[in-house]
Structure 1
Protein backbone atom coordinates (compact mmCIF):
# COMPACT_ATOMS: atom_id res chain seq x y z
CA UNK A 1 0.00 0.00 0.00
CA UNK A 2 2.87 2.40 0.73
CA UNK A 3 4.11 1.84 -2.83
CA UNK A 4 0.63 2.64 -4.18
CA UNK A 5 0.56 5.85 -2.18
CA UNK A 6 4.03 6.84 -3.34
CA UNK A 7 3.00 6.24 -6.95
CA UNK A 8 -0.16 8.34 -6.57
CA UNK A 9 1.75 11.14 -4.87
CA UNK A 10 4.47 11.08 -7.53
CA UNK A 11 1.98 11.04 -10.41
CA UNK A 12 -0.25 13.85 -9.12
CA UNK A 13 2.51 15.83 -7.45
CA UNK A 14 4.31 16.24 -10.77
CA UNK A 15 1.11 17.44 -12.47
CA UNK A 16 -0.49 19.55 -9.73
CA UNK A 17 0.67 22.99 -10.85
CA UNK A 18 -0.83 22.61 -14.33
CA UNK A 19 -3.72 20.25 -13.58
CA UNK A 20 -6.54 22.76 -13.98
CA UNK A 21 -5.16 24.18 -17.23
CA UNK A 22 -5.13 20.66 -18.73
CA UNK A 23 -8.89 20.30 -18.18
CA UNK A 24 -10.32 23.83 -18.50
CA UNK A 25 -13.81 22.81 -19.64
CA UNK A 26 -14.76 20.43 -16.81
CA UNK A 27 -16.61 23.03 -14.73
CA UNK A 28 -20.16 22.36 -16.00
CA UNK A 29 -19.78 18.59 -15.49
CA UNK A 30 -18.57 19.19 -11.93
CA UNK A 31 -21.60 21.42 -11.28
CA UNK A 32 -23.95 18.64 -12.46
CA UNK A 33 -22.12 16.09 -10.29
CA UNK A 34 -22.34 18.23 -7.16
CA UNK A 35 -26.00 19.08 -7.82
CA UNK A 36 -26.84 15.38 -8.06
CA UNK A 37 -25.80 14.91 -4.42
CA UNK A 38 -28.87 16.89 -3.35
CA UNK A 39 -27.02 18.75 -0.62
CA UNK A 40 -28.97 21.04 1.69
CA UNK A 41 -28.00 24.11 3.64
CA UNK A 42 -26.10 23.08 6.76
CA UNK A 43 -24.98 19.68 5.46
CA UNK A 44 -21.47 18.32 6.04
CA UNK A 45 -19.73 17.04 2.90
CA UNK A 46 -16.33 15.54 2.10
CA UNK A 47 -14.53 16.00 -1.21
CA UNK A 48 -12.51 12.76 -1.17
CA UNK A 49 -9.37 13.05 -3.28
CA UNK A 50 -10.13 16.74 -3.81
CA UNK A 51 -7.04 17.44 -5.90
CA UNK A 52 -6.89 21.13 -6.82
CA UNK A 53 -10.27 21.66 -5.21
CA UNK A 54 -12.38 22.31 -8.30
CA UNK A 55 -15.51 21.01 -6.54
CA UNK A 56 -14.96 22.88 -3.26
CA UNK A 57 -16.65 26.20 -4.23
CA UNK A 58 -19.62 24.28 -5.67
CA UNK A 59 -19.91 22.20 -2.51
CA UNK A 60 -19.70 25.34 -0.35
CA UNK A 61 -22.44 27.00 -2.39
CA UNK A 62 -24.63 23.90 -1.95
CA UNK A 63 -24.26 23.66 1.85
CA UNK A 64 -24.17 27.39 2.52
CA UNK A 65 -22.23 29.26 5.20
CA UNK A 66 -23.53 27.01 7.99
CA UNK A 67 -22.48 23.80 6.26
CA UNK A 68 -19.16 21.98 6.50
CA UNK A 69 -16.92 21.31 3.51
CA UNK A 70 -13.77 19.20 3.90
CA UNK A 71 -11.31 18.47 1.12
CA UNK A 72 -8.96 15.53 1.62
CA UNK A 73 -6.07 14.62 -0.64
CA UNK A 74 -2.97 12.45 -0.38
CA UNK A 75 -0.78 14.81 -2.43
CA UNK A 76 0.59 17.99 -0.80
CA UNK A 77 1.17 19.65 -4.18
CA UNK A 78 -2.51 19.24 -5.10
CA UNK A 79 -3.60 20.88 -1.85
CA UNK A 80 -1.10 23.68 -2.46
CA UNK A 81 -2.57 24.17 -5.94
CA UNK A 82 -6.06 24.35 -4.40
CA UNK A 83 -4.81 27.03 -2.03
CA UNK A 84 -3.08 28.91 -4.87
CA UNK A 85 -6.33 28.85 -6.86
CA UNK A 86 -8.15 30.49 -3.93
CA UNK A 87 -10.28 27.45 -3.17
CA UNK A 88 -9.05 26.84 0.38
CA UNK A 89 -11.56 29.42 1.61
CA UNK A 90 -14.43 27.18 0.47
CA UNK A 91 -13.55 24.41 2.91
CA UNK A 92 -11.01 22.86 5.24
CA UNK A 93 -8.14 21.15 3.39
CA UNK A 94 -6.60 18.05 4.97
CA UNK A 95 -3.57 16.06 3.87
CA UNK A 96 -4.87 12.56 4.52
CA UNK A 97 -5.52 9.14 3.02
CA UNK A 98 -9.15 8.30 2.23
CA UNK A 99 -8.37 4.81 3.55
CA UNK A 100 -7.84 6.27 7.05
CA UNK A 101 -9.88 9.43 7.40
CA UNK A 102 -9.33 11.60 10.49
CA UNK A 103 -13.10 11.95 10.93
CA UNK A 104 -15.64 10.59 13.40
CA UNK A 105 -18.06 7.86 12.35
CA UNK A 106 -21.28 9.16 10.76
CA UNK A 107 -19.96 12.74 10.82
CA UNK A 108 -20.98 13.54 7.24
CA UNK A 109 -24.09 13.78 5.11
CA UNK A 110 -22.34 13.11 1.80
CA UNK A 111 -19.12 12.38 -0.06
CA UNK A 112 -18.14 13.70 -3.49
CA UNK A 113 -15.33 11.75 -5.16
CA UNK A 114 -14.09 12.93 -8.56
CA UNK A 115 -11.85 10.45 -10.35
CA UNK A 116 -11.02 8.74 -7.07
CA UNK A 117 -12.07 5.15 -7.61
CA UNK A 118 -9.36 4.36 -10.15
CA UNK A 119 -6.71 5.33 -7.59
CA UNK A 120 -7.94 3.32 -4.61
CA UNK A 121 -5.42 0.65 -3.63
CA UNK A 122 -8.07 -1.43 -1.81
CA UNK A 123 -11.39 -0.34 -3.34
CA UNK A 124 -13.74 -2.33 -1.09
CA UNK A 125 -11.98 -1.37 2.14
CA UNK A 126 -11.56 2.25 1.03
CA UNK A 127 -15.23 2.60 0.08
CA UNK A 128 -16.10 1.04 3.44
CA UNK A 129 -14.05 3.76 5.12
CA UNK A 130 -16.04 6.39 3.22
CA UNK A 131 -19.22 4.66 4.42
CA UNK A 132 -17.94 4.76 8.02
CA UNK A 133 -17.85 8.56 8.07
CA UNK A 134 -21.29 9.02 6.47
CA UNK A 135 -24.58 8.76 8.35
CA UNK A 136 -27.04 6.05 7.28
CA UNK A 137 -29.01 7.39 4.33
CA UNK A 138 -26.14 9.72 3.40
CA UNK A 139 -24.95 9.91 -0.18
CA UNK A 140 -21.86 9.18 -2.26
CA UNK A 141 -21.20 10.57 -5.73
CA UNK A 142 -18.49 8.81 -7.75
CA UNK A 143 -17.86 11.29 -10.54
CA UNK A 144 -15.65 11.84 -13.56
CA UNK A 145 -16.03 14.56 -16.20
CA UNK A 146 -15.61 11.87 -18.88
CA UNK A 147 -17.49 8.63 -19.27
CA UNK A 148 -15.73 5.29 -19.35
CA UNK A 149 -15.47 5.04 -23.15
CA UNK A 150 -14.24 8.62 -23.58
CA UNK A 151 -11.67 8.20 -20.82
CA UNK A 152 -10.42 4.90 -22.26
CA UNK A 153 -10.03 6.57 -25.67
CA UNK A 154 -8.13 9.50 -24.13
CA UNK A 155 -5.79 7.08 -22.35
CA UNK A 156 -5.33 4.90 -25.44
CA UNK A 157 -6.74 1.74 -23.89
CA UNK A 158 -9.65 -0.60 -24.54
CA UNK A 159 -12.85 -0.31 -22.54
CA UNK A 160 -13.10 -3.30 -20.21
CA UNK A 161 -15.75 -4.92 -18.04
CA UNK A 162 -12.97 -5.31 -15.45
CA UNK A 163 -13.07 -1.53 -14.97
CA UNK A 164 -14.15 -0.73 -11.41
CA UNK A 165 -16.63 1.75 -12.87
CA UNK A 166 -18.43 -0.86 -15.02
CA UNK A 167 -21.99 -0.94 -13.65
CA UNK A 168 -22.22 -4.63 -12.63
CA UNK A 169 -18.82 -4.57 -10.93
CA UNK A 170 -19.43 -1.23 -9.25
CA UNK A 171 -22.84 -2.34 -7.98
CA UNK A 172 -21.28 -5.38 -6.27
CA UNK A 173 -18.34 -3.38 -4.94
CA UNK A 174 -20.57 -0.72 -3.40
CA UNK A 175 -22.92 -3.31 -1.88
CA UNK A 176 -19.96 -5.08 -0.26
CA UNK A 177 -18.75 -1.82 1.30
CA UNK A 178 -21.95 -0.45 2.84
CA UNK A 179 -23.50 1.41 -0.09
CA UNK A 180 -26.41 0.84 -2.46
CA UNK A 181 -26.09 2.12 -6.02
CA UNK A 182 -29.20 4.16 -6.83
CA UNK A 183 -28.28 5.94 -10.07
CA UNK A 184 -25.73 5.28 -12.81
CA UNK A 185 -24.87 7.56 -15.74
CA UNK A 186 -22.03 6.74 -18.12
CA UNK A 187 -21.98 9.02 -21.17
CA UNK A 188 -19.13 10.70 -23.03
CA UNK A 189 -19.34 13.96 -21.10
CA UNK A 190 -19.95 12.55 -17.63
CA UNK A 191 -19.67 9.53 -15.37
CA UNK A 192 -21.80 9.74 -12.26
CA UNK A 193 -22.70 6.90 -9.92
CA UNK A 194 -24.81 7.84 -6.91
CA UNK A 195 -25.04 5.58 -3.89
CA UNK A 196 -26.79 5.69 -0.52
CA UNK A 197 -25.21 4.63 2.76
CA UNK A 198 -26.94 1.57 4.15
CA UNK A 199 -27.82 1.08 7.83
Structure 2
Protein backbone atom coordinates (compact mmCIF):
# COMPACT_ATOMS: atom_id res chain seq x y z
CA UNK A 1 0.00 0.00 0.00
CA UNK A 2 1.33 3.46 -0.89
CA UNK A 3 2.15 6.16 1.67
CA UNK A 4 -0.68 8.24 0.17
CA UNK A 5 -3.19 5.48 0.84
CA UNK A 6 -1.89 4.96 4.36
CA UNK A 7 -2.20 8.68 5.10
CA UNK A 8 -5.79 8.77 3.82
CA UNK A 9 -6.73 5.69 5.82
CA UNK A 10 -5.18 7.07 9.00
CA UNK A 11 -6.92 10.42 8.53
CA UNK A 12 -10.38 8.94 8.07
CA UNK A 13 -9.98 6.07 10.55
CA UNK A 14 -9.33 8.60 13.29
CA UNK A 15 -12.49 10.53 12.37
CA UNK A 16 -14.90 7.80 11.27
CA UNK A 17 -16.82 7.29 14.50
CA UNK A 18 -17.76 10.97 14.78
CA UNK A 19 -17.89 11.87 11.08
CA UNK A 20 -21.68 12.16 10.69
CA UNK A 21 -22.02 14.08 13.96
CA UNK A 22 -19.55 16.68 12.72
CA UNK A 23 -21.66 17.45 9.65
CA UNK A 24 -25.29 16.80 10.68
CA UNK A 25 -26.92 19.22 8.23
CA UNK A 26 -25.38 18.03 4.95
CA UNK A 27 -28.21 15.69 3.96
CA UNK A 28 -30.21 18.12 1.78
CA UNK A 29 -27.05 19.17 -0.10
CA UNK A 30 -26.28 15.52 -0.89
CA UNK A 31 -29.85 14.92 -2.08
CA UNK A 32 -29.78 18.01 -4.30
CA UNK A 33 -26.46 16.99 -5.85
CA UNK A 34 -27.71 13.44 -6.54
CA UNK A 35 -30.81 14.91 -8.21
CA UNK A 36 -28.61 16.75 -10.72
CA UNK A 37 -27.08 13.47 -11.94
CA UNK A 38 -30.38 12.71 -13.68
CA UNK A 39 -30.49 9.09 -12.56
CA UNK A 40 -33.44 6.97 -13.65
CA UNK A 41 -35.24 3.94 -12.30
CA UNK A 42 -33.06 0.88 -12.80
CA UNK A 43 -29.77 2.75 -13.23
CA UNK A 44 -26.50 1.50 -11.75
CA UNK A 45 -24.51 4.05 -9.72
CA UNK A 46 -21.18 3.97 -7.90
CA UNK A 47 -20.54 6.12 -4.83
CA UNK A 48 -16.74 6.39 -5.06
CA UNK A 49 -15.07 7.23 -1.77
CA UNK A 50 -18.45 6.77 -0.10
CA UNK A 51 -17.19 7.31 3.46
CA UNK A 52 -20.02 6.74 5.91
CA UNK A 53 -22.46 6.41 3.02
CA UNK A 54 -24.27 9.73 3.30
CA UNK A 55 -25.14 9.65 -0.41
CA UNK A 56 -26.44 6.08 -0.37
CA UNK A 57 -30.03 6.90 0.59
CA UNK A 58 -30.62 9.59 -2.08
CA UNK A 59 -28.85 7.40 -4.65
CA UNK A 60 -31.13 4.48 -3.82
CA UNK A 61 -34.19 6.73 -4.01
CA UNK A 62 -33.06 7.93 -7.44
CA UNK A 63 -32.51 4.48 -9.00
CA UNK A 64 -35.35 2.70 -7.21
CA UNK A 65 -35.59 -0.89 -6.08
CA UNK A 66 -34.56 -2.19 -9.51
CA UNK A 67 -31.37 -0.11 -9.60
CA UNK A 68 -27.92 -0.90 -8.24
CA UNK A 69 -26.05 1.22 -5.70
CA UNK A 70 -22.44 0.39 -4.79
CA UNK A 71 -20.46 2.37 -2.23
CA UNK A 72 -16.68 1.92 -2.36
CA UNK A 73 -14.22 3.28 0.18
CA UNK A 74 -10.59 2.68 1.08
CA UNK A 75 -11.12 2.98 4.84
CA UNK A 76 -12.70 0.09 6.72
CA UNK A 77 -13.66 2.28 9.71
CA UNK A 78 -15.77 4.54 7.47
CA UNK A 79 -17.60 1.53 6.04
CA UNK A 80 -18.20 0.24 9.57
CA UNK A 81 -19.75 3.61 10.44
CA UNK A 82 -21.95 3.32 7.33
CA UNK A 83 -23.17 -0.09 8.52
CA UNK A 84 -23.89 1.25 12.01
CA UNK A 85 -25.99 3.97 10.37
CA UNK A 86 -27.93 1.30 8.46
CA UNK A 87 -26.74 2.48 5.07
CA UNK A 88 -25.78 -1.01 3.99
CA UNK A 89 -29.52 -1.49 3.45
CA UNK A 90 -29.37 1.01 0.59
CA UNK A 91 -26.73 -0.84 -1.44
CA UNK A 92 -23.53 -2.84 -1.47
CA UNK A 93 -20.60 -1.48 0.53
CA UNK A 94 -17.20 -2.40 -0.87
CA UNK A 95 -13.72 -2.00 0.63
CA UNK A 96 -11.82 -0.80 -2.44
CA UNK A 97 -9.43 1.81 -3.76
CA UNK A 98 -11.15 4.23 -6.14
CA UNK A 99 -7.99 4.10 -8.26
CA UNK A 100 -8.14 0.31 -8.74
CA UNK A 101 -11.75 -0.80 -8.63
CA UNK A 102 -12.66 -4.53 -8.72
CA UNK A 103 -15.58 -3.70 -11.01
CA UNK A 104 -16.48 -4.58 -14.59
CA UNK A 105 -15.70 -1.94 -17.24
CA UNK A 106 -18.70 0.05 -18.42
CA UNK A 107 -20.97 -1.42 -15.76
CA UNK A 108 -22.28 1.83 -14.24
CA UNK A 109 -24.43 4.67 -15.52
CA UNK A 110 -22.91 7.23 -13.16
CA UNK A 111 -20.34 7.86 -10.45
CA UNK A 112 -20.98 10.11 -7.46
CA UNK A 113 -17.86 11.27 -5.62
CA UNK A 114 -18.14 13.47 -2.54
CA UNK A 115 -14.89 15.05 -1.38
CA UNK A 116 -12.89 12.47 -3.29
CA UNK A 117 -10.72 14.44 -5.67
CA UNK A 118 -8.67 16.11 -2.92
CA UNK A 119 -7.61 12.67 -1.70
CA UNK A 120 -6.68 11.07 -5.02
CA UNK A 121 -2.92 10.34 -5.11
CA UNK A 122 -2.77 10.34 -8.93
CA UNK A 123 -5.79 12.39 -10.04
CA UNK A 124 -5.56 11.92 -13.82
CA UNK A 125 -4.95 8.19 -13.55
CA UNK A 126 -7.61 7.77 -10.88
CA UNK A 127 -10.20 9.69 -12.90
CA UNK A 128 -9.44 7.39 -15.84
CA UNK A 129 -10.26 4.45 -13.57
CA UNK A 130 -13.61 6.00 -12.68
CA UNK A 131 -14.19 6.50 -16.41
CA UNK A 132 -13.41 2.84 -17.05
CA UNK A 133 -16.32 1.57 -14.96
CA UNK A 134 -18.85 3.96 -16.54
CA UNK A 135 -20.62 3.41 -19.86
CA UNK A 136 -20.07 5.91 -22.70
CA UNK A 137 -22.30 8.91 -22.03
CA UNK A 138 -22.44 8.13 -18.32
CA UNK A 139 -22.05 10.87 -15.73
CA UNK A 140 -19.60 11.86 -13.00
CA UNK A 141 -20.49 14.17 -10.10
CA UNK A 142 -17.65 15.67 -8.05
CA UNK A 143 -19.34 17.11 -4.99
CA UNK A 144 -18.67 18.80 -1.69
CA UNK A 145 -21.40 20.18 0.60
CA UNK A 146 -19.60 23.53 0.87
CA UNK A 147 -17.63 25.48 -1.70
CA UNK A 148 -13.89 25.88 -2.00
CA UNK A 149 -13.63 29.24 -0.23
CA UNK A 150 -15.87 28.18 2.65
CA UNK A 151 -13.96 24.92 3.04
CA UNK A 152 -10.61 26.72 3.06
CA UNK A 153 -11.90 29.15 5.71
CA UNK A 154 -13.16 26.24 7.84
CA UNK A 155 -9.72 24.62 7.63
CA UNK A 156 -7.83 27.85 8.31
CA UNK A 157 -6.03 27.94 4.98
CA UNK A 158 -6.04 29.83 1.68
CA UNK A 159 -6.95 28.50 -1.74
CA UNK A 160 -3.79 27.97 -3.78
CA UNK A 161 -3.48 28.35 -7.58
CA UNK A 162 -2.89 24.61 -7.99
CA UNK A 163 -6.21 23.64 -6.35
CA UNK A 164 -7.51 20.83 -8.56
CA UNK A 165 -11.10 21.90 -7.94
CA UNK A 166 -10.63 25.29 -9.56
CA UNK A 167 -12.46 25.24 -12.89
CA UNK A 168 -9.35 26.26 -14.86
CA UNK A 169 -7.52 23.23 -13.45
CA UNK A 170 -10.38 20.77 -13.27
CA UNK A 171 -11.60 21.16 -16.85
CA UNK A 172 -8.31 20.10 -18.53
CA UNK A 173 -7.72 17.43 -15.87
CA UNK A 174 -11.09 15.86 -16.68
CA UNK A 175 -10.58 16.26 -20.43
CA UNK A 176 -7.25 14.44 -20.25
CA UNK A 177 -8.97 11.63 -18.35
CA UNK A 178 -11.78 11.08 -20.84
CA UNK A 179 -14.45 13.29 -19.23
CA UNK A 180 -16.08 16.49 -20.50
CA UNK A 181 -17.05 19.03 -17.86
CA UNK A 182 -20.68 20.04 -18.45
CA UNK A 183 -21.54 22.05 -15.33
CA UNK A 184 -19.51 23.78 -12.62
CA UNK A 185 -20.84 25.41 -9.45
CA UNK A 186 -18.62 26.69 -6.63
CA UNK A 187 -20.73 28.54 -4.06
CA UNK A 188 -20.45 28.84 -0.29
CA UNK A 189 -23.24 26.29 0.11
CA UNK A 190 -21.92 23.67 -2.32
CA UNK A 191 -19.34 22.57 -4.86
CA UNK A 192 -20.63 20.49 -7.75
CA UNK A 193 -18.87 19.66 -11.02
CA UNK A 194 -20.70 17.42 -13.47
CA UNK A 195 -18.95 15.65 -16.34
CA UNK A 196 -19.94 13.19 -19.05
CA UNK A 197 -17.83 10.21 -20.11
CA UNK A 198 -16.69 10.73 -23.66
CA UNK A 199 -16.46 7.84 -26.07
CA UNK A 200 -12.94 8.69 -27.22
CA UNK A 201 -10.01 7.18 -25.31
CA UNK A 202 -8.40 9.40 -22.69
CA UNK A 203 -5.32 11.32 -23.75
CA UNK A 204 -1.94 10.76 -22.20
CA UNK A 205 -2.14 14.07 -20.35
CA UNK A 206 -0.95 13.81 -16.77
CA UNK A 207 -3.17 16.70 -15.73
CA UNK A 208 -3.45 20.48 -16.04
CA UNK A 209 -0.51 22.80 -16.35
CA UNK A 210 -0.83 25.33 -13.56
CA UNK A 211 0.93 28.66 -13.60
CA UNK A 212 1.83 30.42 -10.42
**Same fold by TM-score, threshold 0.5 exceeded?**
yes
- Name the structure 2 match of 1:189: 189
SS of the counterpart of 1:17?
Answer: helix
**Counterpart Cα distance in 2 of 1:161 and 1:192:** 19
- Name the structure 2 match of 1:112: 112
- Name the structure 2 match of 1:36: 36
- Name the structure 2 match of 1:157: 157
- Name the structure 2 match of 1:81: 81
How many pairs does the alignment contain? 199
- Name the structure 1 match of 2:130: 130
Unaligned residue ranges in structure 2 (runs of 5+): 200-212
Residue 159 of structure 1 and its aligned partner are, at CA, apart by 1.5
Unaligned residue ranges in structure 1 (runs of 5+): none
**Counterpart Cα distance in 1 of 2:89 and 2:55:** 12
**Counterpart Cα distance in 2 of 1:60 and 1:49:** 16
1:70 aligns with 2:60: no
SS of the counterpart of 1:94?
Answer: strand
**Counterpart Cα distance in 2 of 1:161 and 1:136:** 32
Residue 160 of structure 1 and its aligned partner are, at CA, apart by 2.1
Residue 156 of structure 1 and its aligned partner are, at CA, apart by 0.7
1:81-108: CA deviation from partner (whole Å, max 9, x where unpaired): 0000000010000000011101111000
Residue 132 of structure 1 and its aligned partner are, at CA, apart by 0.3
Compute the RMSD of aligned alpha carbons: 0.6
1:147 aligns with 2:147: yes
**Counterpart Cα distance in 1 of 2:150 and 2:11:** 21
**Counterpart Cα distance in 2 of 1:7 and 1:158:** 22
- Name the structure 2 match of 1:8: 8
Residue 169 of structure 1 and its aligned partner are, at CA, apart by 0.3
**Counterpart Cα distance in 1 of 2:53 and 2:93:** 9
Residue 143 of structure 1 and its aligned partner are, at CA, apart by 0.1
**Counterpart Cα distance in 1 of 2:160 and 2:15:** 26
Please report the TM-score for the alignment, with normalisation by the length of structure 2. Answer: 0.93
**Counterpart Cα distance in 1 of 2:2 and 2:95:** 15
